[in-house]
Structure 1
């Protein structure tokens, strides 16, 4: 009897919820399912090196490493947005047209700026009814797991910005070289958390602004300058790019070696959908009763 009651409640909730039930995304009537697969990552502790330029008593210092924990599940795309998916947004008049170059439809879209990525996320939000957004740098590091590069870069006095840029460039450029041509989805493998092509040859935009910060005696960092015209970009190394740049090889890299390509993957906010499903289940219980 208990099993039958549970099944009736589940069926009623499914009928009320429509496409939300069974773990699918909360969609508007007649709208197809999400075009991309996602994975839900439960909160856990992880090591995070603070992004941006850090100083102590006015002198450059290595950014500290923190032990962090996300405050809720993180639902994120298992792969980067593809050229075909971005082209659909362009065709709908919702995304800026870009020079796609030789990338095939089944490969990550590259040559996109932060602004282009935000436009695509806004379109996906309108299309699906679920909020899509770029990850923060902290979320990206958490999802990247063992693929996140936590190497501390050489500390160089910012009073000589040209030398600081060159030292960082030399450090990053000395890493293993790989083809800059976008590869088919999955070419660079899957990390421990089920994400494909993390730290391959496509760097990913995050929504984190560039920050200059002071490391206090207490160990806390205090932001002194926040520049949201420059965003954190993540891949084989962390770097910082002007938000309108599409091709990093033409300039706009705020420090170090420019990324080979600029692409992105999105976070999907599921909390609202989860709350709605729970409410529908409670309503079904009231309607059906205990029998």
Structure 2
């Protein structure tokens, strides 16, 4: 899909996914009787076609934003047709705002639900440790460690040319490769009851990051290995892809207000 604004040309190849529904483990931290509990699974609905970038935003894409003074420089080692990495949530938001202004259309980070829907069979939820044991808090941590180790993930720090990790069944490229992706979903701390989630407090200083599995990072973190609030082994790289809202800015505003 080619979009033009003035004398500039911004090219973003999109995949359009039809509406659908799926069972989805909720993101965040869940407690029952003040002890960790598995995330509840909810039936989620994508009610309208979802237009998402086929590839992650590349270094050359991102450099245009830097050249315009709207984005901070990313990983200086990278150029051309490789994913932009070394970008924080704040950087990704700045790029989405720049692209929206440049094209006159609405671009934004996907939600956790949208990303999971687009990821299809490549989506992995949090590394779970089962129910918390009040008598042995370390037991759950050890279970998490064993579950992550069983996935067989190996360090893979060098970003590769787009398409290197292939397509998933929905035609979206490089899902769950070695570049993990920011979403617009805030971290949540929830208390469970017998009827489900009793209360939930959001922390939008931390956002959901998707990749080999789901994790959480502070908004300002650009290098996942430097820390933040990651769960499990930290991400090799932090990058992003965007969703295109065909309804434009009004639809995006209504979504933010919870009216659509």
- Match of residue 21 from structure 2: 45
Relative to 1, partners in 2 of residues 1:222 and 1:254: Cα closer, same or farther, differing over 3 Å?
farther
Note the residue ranges of structure 1 that are not aligned, 5 or more in a row.
1-22, 276-291
Higher strand residue share: 2
1:193 to partner: Cα distance: 1.1
Query: For 1:141-172, what per-residue CA distance to the aligned partner results, in whole angstroms no more than 9, with x for missing partners?
Result: 00000110147611364989888667545543
- 1:103-152 CA deviation, whole Å, 9 max, x = no partner? 34111011110000000000000000111110010110000001101476
Query: Per-residue deviation at 1:60?
Result: 1.5
Aligned length: 248
Which residue in 2 is equivalent to 1:184? 161
Computing the radius of gyration from Cα coordinates, the structure with the larger value is 1
1:265 paired residue among 222, 238, 241: 241
Structure 2 residue matching 1:72: 3-state secondary structure: coil
* Aligned match of 2:97: 122
**Is 1:208 the counterpart of 2:195 in the alignment?**
no
Q: Is residue 35 of structure 1 aligned with residue 21 of structure 2?
A: no
Change (3 A) 1:180 1:254: closer
Question: Residue 250 of structure 1 aligns with which residue?
Answer: 226
**3-state SS in 1 of match to 2:62:** helix
Q: How has the CA–CA distance of structure 1 residues 163 and 245 changed in structure 2, closer, same or farther, with 3 Å as cutoff? A: farther
Is 2:126–2:215's contact at 8 Å kept on the other side of the alignment? no
When structure 1 is superposed on structure 2, of 130-139 and 145-154 the one drifting more is 145-154
Per the alignment, in what secondary structure is the counterpart of residue 124 of structure 1? helix
Q: Distance in 2 between matches of 1:54 and 1:162?
A: 17
SS at match of 2:170: coil
Offset, 1:39: 1.4
Paired position in structure 1 for 2:258: none
TM-score, normalised relative to structure 1? 0.77
Determine the structure 2 residue equivalent to 1:8. none
Task: Spell out the pairing of 1:1-291 with structure 2 (5 A cutoff).
Answer: 25=3, 28-32=5-9, 34-101=10-77, 103-150=78-125, 153-155=128-130, 157=132, 168-169=144-145, 171-174=147-150, 175-219=152-196, 221-272=197-248
In structure 2, runs of 5+ residues without a counterpart are: 252-260
Deviations, residues 80-110 of structure 1 (Å, cap 9, x unaligned)? 0001111111011010123322x34111011
- With the length of structure 2 as denominator, give the TM-score of the two structures: 0.86
CA distance in 2, matches of 1:161, 1:246: 31
- Pair 81,233 (structure 1): closer, same or farther in 2 beyond 3 Å: same
Cα displacement (A) at 1:213 = 0.9
Question: Which structure is higher in helix share?
Answer: 1
Distance 1:173 1:86, change over 3 A: farther
